[in-house]
Chain A
Amino acid sequence: MLPIRWKVTLVSMLASVTVLVVACGAFFQYGIVRARADLGRSLRMRAEILGTVSGAAIVFDDAKTGVEILDALRIDPRITAAALYRADRTLFTSLQRTDKDVLGELETLLPKGQSFSGDRLLLANPIDLKGDRIGYVVLASDLSYLHDAVRQSVAVGGVVLACCLILGGLLSTQLQRVVTQPILTLAEAARTIARSADYSLRVPGQGTDELGALRASFNEMLDQIAHRDRELEAARASLERRVDERTEALVRQTEELTRSNADLEQFAYVASHDLQEPLRMVASYTQLLAEQTKGTLDRDAQDYIGFAVDGALRMQALISDLLAYSRVSRAGLAVEELVAGDVVAHALKNLEVAIAESGARVTIDPLPAVRASRTQLLQLFQNLIGNAIKFRGERSPHIQVGAEHQDGAVTFSVRDNGIGFDPKYAPKIFVIFRRLHARGKYPGTGIGLAVCKKIVEQHGGRIWVESKPGVGTEFFFTIPYPPPEAVTNAAVANAKEDVHVESISA
């Protein structure tokens, strides 16, 4: 592909050369035509003059005078043949140097004619006097001088043309700059900008023609790009700032929460632990009192002591459960790869007395592997299955344990055909110490499901329930598998004594 400079130069040169050649050719052609016409005219004029002068010589048969007249042509070396003819076309006289062949050719032109033949112009002209034809004059003029002139002109013209070509070439090379320079500048700038991605550069130059407009548009585009770049940069900076702020806030919050959580748990544990001691005293001494006063006090007094013992024992149970509850999160979450089936089997073993007593039938679907804390998962299943056995109706309990793996988590289910409950109480039953039934009807402190919820949430899952009174209940809980990072982090954190928050990575 020719560079643009060459193209422009060649194009303008081609145009000028073509024009020159055509013009030269035209003028040349015109020149030749004119020269011939002029020659013909001038020769005819001479023939006319000769005729008027020689008429009498022909008529009065004065050959000597005729020759004298023709001899005047001697001084013009271009006249190669001249002759006078009588009216009957017989030869009267001719110039000495005329050769016969030429005369023959000339005679073919009589009575009047002109012919450019080869290197000669042949001419025949009649001589008339007072309306009568008295003879003819014929002339032949050598054209070689004309042809020489033509050849010379061509040579000169060729030289001139060559010089013009060179001049034109030089001019073109210089002048093409006017057009190509702006284009090349623009191209160069575009290349530089594309290569260096430096959008602060602009294409220099003035000019209001199309090239100027192109350059202006290009610069405008660069302005827009630079502007957009700046905006993007500003937006990015602002975004980064906001992310940093949020992250900081989040980190602070998390720190606080974790701290507060730890505090609370510490408090719960300590409280229940410390509460246990005095409570044990109350319980044991009231029990002793009950035994000691077994026959000595009246009915009411014995009842009162009985209530006190009852209360104390109940409180012990509550505190014990609270302790257990707080332990759920306090204990290190040693996560391992488990086969859920094994854990359920273990739970059933722990409940074998209750199962035997209730005649419960437990079916276990194939359960997948999960990553969880063995002890807590055991606790979880034990609570749920235990509840299922406890809250049975008239018929013997049938419990189904199943699992489904979906959306990056395993959803376990424990279904029973027990008494069920009104679904509107569903949220309440997971609240600590909340019970739906009277104390006497079904035993328990109401902490079982709260513990289950805590365990599930610690594993990063979710627990919920569906139930229909008189039909049965189904508990669902999810264990993310693989588990989310929070679980892993919490595990790491709780393993240590202090609470130390890792930065939350994405």
Chain B
Amino acid sequence: MVRASRPFARALVLGVVLAWTCGRSADAGAESEQASEYAVKAAYLFNFARFVTWPAGAFPEPATPLTICILGADPFGTVLDGMLADETVEGRKLAARRLGTPQQLDGCQILFVNAAGRDHEVLAAVAERPILTVGDAEAFALDGGMVGFRIDQSTVRLTVNPDALRRSGLTMSSQVMRLARIVPGAS
């Protein structure tokens, strides 16, 4: 277990340290800043697997890997893949997929939406399916997405929409809820 989490841990440490240093230094390079930001977000995506419970029917088979899908531009690059490589969550392997259209959602457990303006379209396609929808902005959660990343004092923070979670049959650990800003669901 320890050995398995080392690459992840390393990534996380790197991410956090970089995040802090970036936060403190006045003139950090925007590019490096961005890169570390998405490393942290990648780690968060991975960790959602631990803190979210999918309903029984979400996985066709026990051996089916937990799939993190990216719709729209891929901001993570190889970081995410590297992170997921040797990891397991509850015995399931992890996998990453890049989608072109919302219609390719089948088999996704986590969906990262990076298509600006198309949120509603995507959310409509996903509606009430057991897929954790994560967006890159707080507005995403306000619009009906489940989780939205935001930056607060140079730290990546979460905004969570519990209604959205409920509607799709997913359960998120209260521990995460505690860390996150809760927004009411859009009707």
Contacts and interface: CB of A to CB of B under 8 A. Distances in A.
Interface of A: 52-57, 59-62, 65, 86-88, 90, 111, 128-134
B134 to A, nearest CB: 13
17 contacts: A56-B176, A56-B179, A60-B44, A60-B176, A61-B16, A61-B40, A61-B156, A65-B178, A87-B2, A87-B8, A88-B6, A111-B2, A129-B51, A131-B88, A131-B89, A133-B1, A133-B2
Given A52-B175, A90-B13, A132-B4, 10 more contacts: A56-B178, A59-B12, A60-B47, A61-B19, A61-B155, A86-B9, A87-B8, A88-B13, A129-B51, A130-B89
B173 interface: yes
Contacts of B158: 60
Q: Name the residue in B44, B51, B158 with the highest tally of chain A Cβ atoms < 10 Å from its Cβ.
A: B51
Nearest to B5: A87
Residue of B5, B19, B40 with most chain A CB atoms under a 10 A cut-off? B5
A56 B173 contact: yes
Interface in B1-52: 1-2, 4-6, 8-10, 12-13, 15-16, 19, 40, 44, 47, 50-51
A60 B13 contact: no
Contacts of A111: 2
Contact of A129 (B15, B40, B50, B155): B50
Interface of B: 1-2, 4-6, 8-10, 12-13, 15-16, 19, 40, 44, 47, 50-51, 88-91, 155-156, 158, 173, 175-176, 178-179
B111 to A, nearest CB: 19
A130 B50 contact: yes
Contacts of A88: 6, 9-10, 13
A52 B2 CA distance: 18
A190 to B, nearest CB: 89
Contact of A86 (B13, B19, B178): B13
B171 to A, nearest CB: 13
A86 B12 contact: yes
Contacts, number: 66
B121 to A, nearest CB: 29
A462 B10 CA distance: 151
B88 to A, nearest CB: 8
A55 B13 contact: no
Contact of A56 (B8, B10, B51): B51
Contacts of A60: 44, 47, 158, 176, 179
A78 to B, nearest CB: 26
Given A130-B89, A131-B90, A87 B9 contact: yes
A342 to B, nearest CB: 149
A53 to B, nearest CB: 6
Nearest to A131: B90
B110 to A, nearest CB: 15
B105 to A, nearest CB: 24
Contacts of A87: 2, 5, 8-9
A355 B67 CA distance: 182
B90 A130 contact: yes
A52 B174 CA distance: 10
B5 A57 contact: no
B175 A57 contact: yes
Contacts of B8: 87
A125 to B, nearest CB: 15
B85 to A, nearest CB: 15
A65 B158 CA distance: 13
A133 B6 CA distance: 10
Contacts of B10: 88
Contacts of A57: 175, 178-179
B57 to A, nearest CB: 19
Contacts of B40: 61
A62 B179 contact: yes
A130 B178 CA distance: 19
B65 to A, nearest CB: 15
B181 to A, nearest CB: 12
A87 B12 CA distance: 10
Contact of B12 (A52, A53, A61): A61
Nearest to B173: A56
B185 to A, nearest CB: 22
